């Protein structure tokens, strides 16, 4: 028997507004519960998992309180707060999973959970020995790096050939999980001539520029951001590919910088996740006048290509194209710190991370 700590929704939030993180407030969005779990509760096909690591993703905002059911259904009060992560099987009634196996799965905000193989995002066995750390399965071999892989290979349909080299890339949210991998893909695999990397604050600018001398960091918090961005790009009509994770004003400015018949890859819109007024595309006319291609993307649309993508990512790590040590921020959610899990996740919107933000829940 284990005593599981599990975060559930307490009160339904309004989509597109900040969650109430004051756990002492009766109107708090979340509450922490404890439940006893044991092997005897397992049904056929189920297994008991100890959560080790949690993935922190801006997209969880919509998994929790959906603004668009085309993307996610959202959850109701009393339901577990959704999150992907890495866990260790400690008991099983599923012949495919044995005690001691490590899995990548939707473990939610829990210390222990009973799982099965169902769900939109399937359970996947992972190895502890073939990687530098289990955290790699959430970063360099996880959903964020896979998202970057699919941006380049599936959506932009780039290939490692001469005509795809030497392009100019603009990446917003460049110091984040997806952005930091996109920089490395563009720089090392597709031999970009320039990468304009938008990040928040001098420290984040220094971070993105540390990936290579062809990376030009631009601080969106600087009062002269607009002028600095245009200067970094070399003026309007200079960018071949704009990978946008932010939306809002940055989406408008980035579109202004795109060349005719260039491509906008819409990966996220974090600027509007707590303020829906930012979900506005004021420069839409440029889509017409420049004959732009816009592609929206979701990781789960590419599930069948995961094995292919993971194989490529492993090759990139071995070739030195991906520096995993620079693309993870791991925070402590073990023991009593588990009560801070919602606030640790909320740090995404305060910019506490460089690369992938991961919460450690149990020792491994």
Q: Are residues 49 and 105 both part of a single domain?
A: yes
Q: Supply 282's token pair.
A: 């004021």
Q: Are residues 170 and 253 both part of a single domain?
A: yes
Q: Band of the pLDDT at 143, cuts 50, 70, 90?
A: very high
Q: Are residues 38 and 183 both part of a single domain?
A: no
Q: Residue 319: inside a domain, yes or no?
A: no
Q: Are residues 172 and 95 both part of a single domain?
A: no
Name the 3-class secondary structure at 7. strand
Q: Residue 322: inside a domain, yes or no?
A: no
Q: Residue 317: inside a domain, yes or no?
A: no
Q: Are residues 172 and 135 both part of a single domain?
A: no
Where among 285, 300, 315 does a domain terminate? 300
CATH number (domain holding residue 63)? 3.90.180.10
Q: Are residues 271 and 354 both part of a single domain?
A: no
Q: Residue 321: inside a domain, yes or no?
A: no
d(CA 274, CA 278): 9
Q: Residue 318: inside a domain, yes or no?
A: no
Name the 3-class secondary structure at 252. helix
Q: Are residues 89 and 205 both part of a single domain?
A: no
- The string of pLDDT tens digits covering residues 283-340 is 999 999 999 999 999 998 999 999 999 999 999 999 999 999 899 999 999 999 999 9
- The string of pLDDT tens digits covering residues 197-250 is 999 999 999 999 999 999 999 999 999 999 999 999 999 999 999 999 999 999
Q: Are residues 152 and 256 both part of a single domain?
A: yes
Q: Residue 129 above 90 pLDDT?
A: no
Q: Residue 308: inside a domain, yes or no?
A: no
Where among 255, 281, 300 does a domain terminate? 300
Q: Are residues 58 and 104 both part of a single domain?
A: yes
Q: Residue 320: inside a domain, yes or no?
A: no
Q: Are residues 217 and 107 both part of a single domain?
A: no
Question: What does the pLDDT average to over 35-55?
Answer: 96
Q: Residue 305: inside a domain, yes or no?
A: no
Domain range spanning residue 159? 143-300
Q: Are strands 112-115 and 47-55 parallel, antiparallel or unpaired?
A: antiparallel
Q: Band of the pLDDT at 162, cuts 50, 70, 90?
A: very high
Helix 177-184 vs helix 143-150: crossing angle, to nearest 10: 50
How many domains does one find in the chain? 2
d(CA 176, CA 356): 6
Q: Residue 26 above 90 pLDDT?
A: yes
Q: Band of the pLDDT at 44, cuts 50, 70, 90?
A: very high
Q: Are residues 20 and 77 both part of a single domain?
A: yes
CATH number (domain holding residue 273)? 3.40.50.720
Measured in degrees and rounded to the nearest 5, phi and psi for residue 80 equal -65, 145
Question: What does the pLDDT average to over 132-156?
Answer: 96
Beta-carbon contacts of residue 178 (< 8 Å; ≥ 6 apart): 144, 147, 148, 151, 245, 267, 268
Q: Are residues 127 and 162 both part of a single domain?
A: no
């Amino acid at each position: 028997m284990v005593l599981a700590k599990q975060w559930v929704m307490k009160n339904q939030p309004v989509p597109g507004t900040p969650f109430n993180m004051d756990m002492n407030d009766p109107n708090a969005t979340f509450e922490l519960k404890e439940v006893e779990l044991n092997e005897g509760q397992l049904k056929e096909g189920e297994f008991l998992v100890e959560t080790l690591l949690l993935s922190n993703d801006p997209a969880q905002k919509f998994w929790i309180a959906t603004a668009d059911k085309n993307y996610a259904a959202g959850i109701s009060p009393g339901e577990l707060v959704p999150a992907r992560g890495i866990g260790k099987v400690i008991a099983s009634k599923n012949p495919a999973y044995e005690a001691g196996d490590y899995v990548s799965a939707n473990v939610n905000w829990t210390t222990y959970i009973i799982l099965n193989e169902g769900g939109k995002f399937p359970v996947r066995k992972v190895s502890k020995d073939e990687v530098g750390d289990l955290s790699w399965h959430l970063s360099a071999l996880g959903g964020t790096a896979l998202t970057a892989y699919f941006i380049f290979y599936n959506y932009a349909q780039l290939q490692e050939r001469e005509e795809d080299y030497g392009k100019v890339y603009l990446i917003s949210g460049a110091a984040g999980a997806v952005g930091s991998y996109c920089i490395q893909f563009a720089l090392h695999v597709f031999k970009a001539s320039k990468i304009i990397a938008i990040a928040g604050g001098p420290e984040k600018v220094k971070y993105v520029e540390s990936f290579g001398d062809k990376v030009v960091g631009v601080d969106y918090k600087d009062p002269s951001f607009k002028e600095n961005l245009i200067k970094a790009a070399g003026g309007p009509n200079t960018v071949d590919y704009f990978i946008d994770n932010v939306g809002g004003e940055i989406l408008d400015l980035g579109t202004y910088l795109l060349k005719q018949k260039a491509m906008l890859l819409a990966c996220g819109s974090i600027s509007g996740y707590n303020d829906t007024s930012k979900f506005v595309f004021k420069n839409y006319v440029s889509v017409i006048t420049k004959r732009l291609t816009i592609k929206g993307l979701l990781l789960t649309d590419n599930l069948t290509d995961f094995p292919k993508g993971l194989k490529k990512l492993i090759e990139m790590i071995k070739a030195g194209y991906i520096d995993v040590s620079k693309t993870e921020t791991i925070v402590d959610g073990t023991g009593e710190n588990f009560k801070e899990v919602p606030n640790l996740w909320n740090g995404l919107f305060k910019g506490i991370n460089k690369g992938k933000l991961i919460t450690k829940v149990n020792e491994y």
